[in-house]
Structure 1
């Protein structure tokens, strides 16, 4: 039986930081006011906010499904050395996307009652349909990303070299920094025994951004702290599946210091929205201000609440 807590546990993650930087009202809905919304006797606002929190959109869903199939392919290869055909992977991903479309259009009532067990696409919930251009873009991405994954440097490494040791993929890991639990989700981690180095891999399904390298620096910090791996033996790698490009880096201590400084500033900012640090009770919703960049609101899950005056 789930034990109900009055307020959510405080933790830090890159996604939490990005949400706050995006819009503090969105941050409040996502990390505080949706809490306990899965209980039938929760206040209506908590249930509505939790339901909206579970909405996804086509690009995000595509990335989640692709990451899931990549994880499965790698784990299956570890056990059987079998690599499925490209067409099989494309078909599986397409089927998952179609299931989400069916959930969103034919099972809206079921999703309303049990949002954890059904998918709801933002495009359909708010605008009633998927644009043909968006569907075509996902179709094009699907074929390209699967092909580039199978041909990627990281996947080629683990299927063509014997001196590889698998460590983990797509698993939640935590470490404690500044007295706060920090969540880290590494897409794939393995060790090259011959080169005596650890490789952290992040599969990217979108365009390259300046933030990508910083994200991997946090993962390197986790590896250094948890496994006591010297920094010079850690290679971080972004695999851009949309282009087939692979960016590889080695970090210095100054890079990790920048990550820690940024996190410390982020925690200070998050602290402004907490009334009681011991319980993580938030300040009133009205003090979580809305973003000034209203174009962001068009793609926000909580658009409905703001339009209702929440």
Structure 2
């Protein structure tokens, strides 16, 4: 494997969220941890790389639900049938239980952080156990989300409609905007025989204004990178916790806003580079810590970061 002193320069919605929440965390995630998978990397880079792999319990629940939705879609495409509710529930529960069991062996995870799971809540726990309240909350959310996934409007109206054809599911794509490489990953994209595109996005948490921004980015990708007409794009956010489906309206104003957002955000990130061409960052201490103390409380990197709100 060839050695690259600095990571690839790119932009994504999640990358922007890291930067806006805490530039120091952003530095650790994308720069400090770079090459940390190499045995000859500095110990600090290796430690940051491992901490980068920590899983937040609630976010990992979302990952397992995405896995269940993808599994359902692929089986429907291949066999014309989906999964029963209990089959999906068991799949989600097994993944969470496996993550919990692996998290009990910190030494094994430290040796193979990409092959094993480690829940941040356990890694940073003094008692090395999950709080009873968190366990009860996850069980409740897990049942509600699986139920609402099976009952979701998109599964019934789009996936099971023979006039729709699956274009892609959970595929990482990229496009360029004025020389900026932008990454997008759509949960599921369907196309109707009449030319209509439907993007489905699964959310396991509460409604958030940032979700709308993310969906506008998906529409921008479809319109500008794939040439889909605006009037032929429908975006659905399936909020699995509530069991509601929110459909976004697409407009030129919305796409212009997300384009400007990408350009402004990328320019702001460039200010933190000593060499934008090589993507070489400024020193760690120049990346300010979060202004909101709540960001530090659950940060993966709090074992290393010395600038924390007390």
Bucket of the pairwise TM-score, normalised by the shorter protein: over 0.9
Q: Which residue of 2 aligns with 1:292?
A: 291
SS at match of 2:175: strand
Number of residue equivalences: 306
Distance in 2 (CA, whole Å) between partners of 1:308 and 1:292 is 11
Pairing 1:16–2:6 present: no
Distance in 1 (CA, whole Å) between partners of 2:221 and 2:59 is 25
Structure 1: unaligned runs, 5 residues or longer: none
> How far apart are residue 108 of structure 1 and its match?
1.2
Answer whether contact 2:215 2:235 (CA < 8 A) is retained: yes
Deviation digits for residues 30-89 of structure 1 (CA, Å, limit 9, x no counterpart): 010100000011001100000000001110110011101210110111010122111111
Distance in 2 (CA, whole Å) between partners of 1:246 and 1:158 is 13
Task: Please report the RMSD computed on the Cα atoms of aligned residues, expressed in angstroms.
Answer: 1.3
Answer whether contact 1:232 1:250 (CA < 8 A) is retained: no
Q: Which residue of 2 aligns with 1:88?
A: 87
> How far apart are residue 307 of structure 1 and its match?
3.6
Distance in 1 (CA, whole Å) between partners of 2:26 and 2:129 is 27
Structure 2: unaligned runs, 5 residues or longer: none
Q: Which residue of 1 aligns with 2:184?
A: 184
Distance in 2 (CA, whole Å) between partners of 1:184 and 1:25 is 24
Distance in 2 (CA, whole Å) between partners of 1:161 and 1:236 is 17
SS at match of 1:306: coil
Distance in 1 (CA, whole Å) between partners of 2:304 and 2:275 is 25
Distance in 2 (CA, whole Å) between partners of 1:289 and 1:228 is 40
Q: Which residue of 1 aligns with 2:211?
A: 212
Closer, same or farther: CA 193–154 of 1 in aligned 2, 3 Å:
same
Q: Which residue of 2 aligns with 1:34?
A: 33
Q: Which moved more, 1:46-55 or 1:138-147?
A: 138-147
Deviation digits for residues 157-195 of structure 1 (CA, Å, limit 9, x no counterpart): 23542211110111100000120110000001001225x
Pairing 1:104–2:103 present: yes
Distance in 1 (CA, whole Å) between partners of 2:294 and 2:56 is 16
Distance in 1 (CA, whole Å) between partners of 2:248 and 2:45 is 43
Q: Which residue of 2 aligns with 1:271?
A: 270
Distance in 2 (CA, whole Å) between partners of 1:160 and 1:231 is 24
Answer whether contact 1:214 1:259 (CA < 8 A) is retained: yes
SS at match of 2:190: strand
Q: Which TM-score applies when normalising by structure 1?
A: 0.96
> How far apart are residue 226 of structure 1 and its match?
2.4
